[in-house]
């Protein structure tokens, strides 16, 4: 049995209705679910946090980190 766990339930996660600690019979299904959740959360949540999938034994953990803001607009002239 494999479990997909959200490391820290931020406010956006709690409001989303997404279930934490989802259980799967195989690792592939758990990884696919975790990657899809991470992508969804990175795109649709408030952009305060960044979500990353990390394998840890029988658990697939979605880590939560503060999103780093570089201050650069990406126009190529800040270097």
pLDDT tens-digit readout, 15-59 = 999 999 999 999 999 999 999 999 999 999 999 999 999 998 999
Are the CB atoms for 24 and 42 separated by under 8 Å? no
3-state class of 72 per DSSP? coil
3-state class of 7 per DSSP? coil
Residue that is written with structure tokens 């969804």 in the block: 40
Q: What residues pair up with 7 in beta bridges, in sequence order?
A: none
Strand segments, DSSP code E, in the chain are: 2-6, 22-24, 49-56, 59-66
Q: What are phi and psi of 74, to 5 degrees?
A: 85, 10
Q: Look up the pTM and report it.
A: 0.81
């Amino acid at each position: 049995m494999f479990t997909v766990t959200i490391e820290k339930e931020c406010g956006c996660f709690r409001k989303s209705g997404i279930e934490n600690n989802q259980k799967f019979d195989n690792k592939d299904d758990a990884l696919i679910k975790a990657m899809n959740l991470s992508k969804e959360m990175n795109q649709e949540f408030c952009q305060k946090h960044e979500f990353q999938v990390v394998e840890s034994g029988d658990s697939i953990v979605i880590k939560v980190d503060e999103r780093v803001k570089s201050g650069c607009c990406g126009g190529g002239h800040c270097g």
